[in-house]
Amino acid sequence: MTETLHGQVILYSYLWAREYDRGEESGRKSRHTCVMLIIAGKGGKQTPLLFPITSQLPRPDAHAIEIPETEARRAKL
């Protein structure tokens, strides 16, 4: 298995909160996702904190950041 690194862009079957709230258990499709932070848990187990990348505008109540064009090109988005 490949090591996951901070700042890495991966493909991940991301489950949006609204999908979870409707009772869904897994994401509908693999989407580009950024590994923002890796948290060390009990027994040294690492848990990545993931943020989805989308081309859709965020809802007014959502927190979002725009990926600079240069970085988007580097990640082949």
Residue with tokens 């690492």: 46
Domain residues for the domain of 41 are 9-74
Encode pLDDT of 7-62 as tens digits: 888 888 988 888 999 999 999 889 889 888 888 888 888 888 888 898 888 889 98
N-term to C-term CA, the chain = 23
Asked if residue 30 is part of any domain, the answer here is yes
Lowest mean pLDDT among 1-5, 16-20, 31-35, 66-70: 1-5
Q: Among residues 18, 1, 6, which one has the least CA distance to residue 50?
A: 6
Q: How many domains does the chain have?
A: 1
Alpha carbons 11 and 30: distance in angstroms, whole number = 6
Mapped onto helix, strand or coil, the DSSP state of residue 69 is helix
Query: Residue 14 falls within a domain, yes or no?
Result: yes
pLDDT value at residue 35: 85
Distance CA 52, CA 45 (A): 22
